[in-house]
Amino acid sequence: MSQEALHRVANLIQSAKHLVILTGAGVSKESGVPTFRDAMDGLWSQYDPQQLATPQAFEHDPRLVWEWYQWRRDLVHQAKPNAGHYALAQLEAQHTGEVLTVTQNVDDLHEQAGTRRIVHLHGNIARSKCASSCQGEPTIIDLNTLQTEDVPPRCPHCGAYLRPDVVWFGESLPPYAIARAIEASQNCDVMLVVGTSGLVSPAAQLPSMAAQRGAAIIEVNPESTPITPIAVAKLNDYSGVVLPQLLDAIGA
């Protein structure tokens, strides 16, 4: 990666009045969080993730689905933010314009690193909610307030099973989250796309949406993706490597 390319990207970001940061699984993977399909190993290697991450799977065998997600929660709990997470949080704190992070990740590593303005498109695996949404969608329940050995635990309001607060196959994204992400993408002048494959919709459409409105798309990814052709600049490295360098270039 040339210093010229780095400083060009730094100037674009520094001059942005409305910056959107879109992050994907690659950012969390650098912290040791397995991607969705990488999580299917060991005891879970016999399963297809699409057999476990659906409302139908939960209805058929709620205990199995809950235990798989509990295993994934334990993996996420052990992970810590990496240099890329911290650089993005610092970028938000230092930037003079508006900055919004839109993430496809279900962990809270961005928040742990200090990011404050964030939209979780696919939910938050650390949270649990009533499967019947008895108090509205979502009805979040703090597991620490429950005294039960039920697996899954049951909602203290209505008795329905609790489930992870994540988006499963066949479900719509949270209306507020996708509406806010679309609005920000349509109004930004720069979008920084970090560690996403560009294959999962509707998040994959956000960069194109921004580019059509005239925004400059900057991609950080060691691999080529469907986003690469519309990017005005591509930093071919891992986020934990390149983002601290980018932050230094902005500071300089």
What pLDDT sits at residue 201? 86
Better-scored residue on pLDDT, 24 or 34: 24
Domain map of the chain by residue range?
A: 1-32+81-122+173-252, 34-78+125-166
Amino acid identity, position 158:
C
Question: Strand 140-141 to strand 123-130: parallel, antiparallel, or no bridges (unpaired)?
Answer: antiparallel
What pLDDT sits at residue 38? 64
Cα separation of 151 and 133, whole Å?
18
Burial (CB count <10 Å: 0-12, 13-18, 19+), residue 108: buried
52 pLDDT band (50/70/90 cuts)?
A: confident
What pLDDT sits at residue 84? 97
Model confidence at 75: pLDDT above 70: yes
1-32+81-122+173-252 and 34-78+125-166 agree in CATH topology = no
Contact 203, 209 (CB under 8 A): no
Longest dimension (CA), the chain: 60
3-state secondary structure of 163: strand
Is the pTM for the entire model greater than 0.75? yes
Is 213 among the annotated ligand-binding positions?
A: no
pLDDT single digits (tens) 10-23: 999 999 999 999 99
Name every residue whose Cβ is closer than 8 Å to that of residue 24 and which is 6 or more positions away in sequence. 103, 104, 105, 194, 195, 196, 197, 200, 203
Model confidence at 36: pLDDT above 70: no
Element (H, E) at 193: strand 190-194
pLDDT over 70 percentage in the chain? 95
Model confidence at 42: pLDDT above 70: no
Is 107 among the annotated ligand-binding positions?
A: yes
What pLDDT sits at residue 48? 76
Is 240 among the annotated ligand-binding positions?
A: no
Is 188 among the annotated ligand-binding positions?
A: no
| Interval 78-93 mean pLDDT | 97
- Considering the segment(s) 34-78+125-166 as one domain, its CATH architecture is 2-Layer Sandwich (3.30)
Cα separation of 125 and 130, whole Å?
14
Contact 195, 23 (CB under 8 A): yes
What residues are paired with 163 via a beta bridge? Answer: 129
| Interval 97-117 mean pLDDT | 97
What pLDDT sits at residue 39? 55
45 pLDDT band (50/70/90 cuts)?
A: low
1-32+81-122+173-252 fold: Rossmann fold (3.40.50)
Query: Alpha helices, DSSP H only, in 131-238?
Result: 175-187, 206-212
What pLDDT sits at residue 177? 96
Question: Strand 190-194 to strand 216-220: parallel, antiparallel, or no bridges (unpaired)?
Answer: parallel
What pLDDT sits at residue 1? 60
Is 99 among the annotated ligand-binding positions?
A: no
| Residues annotated as part of the active site | 122
| Interval 127-155 mean pLDDT | 94
Contact 155, 162 (CB under 8 A): yes
What pLDDT sits at residue 148? 85
What pLDDT sits at residue 199? 87
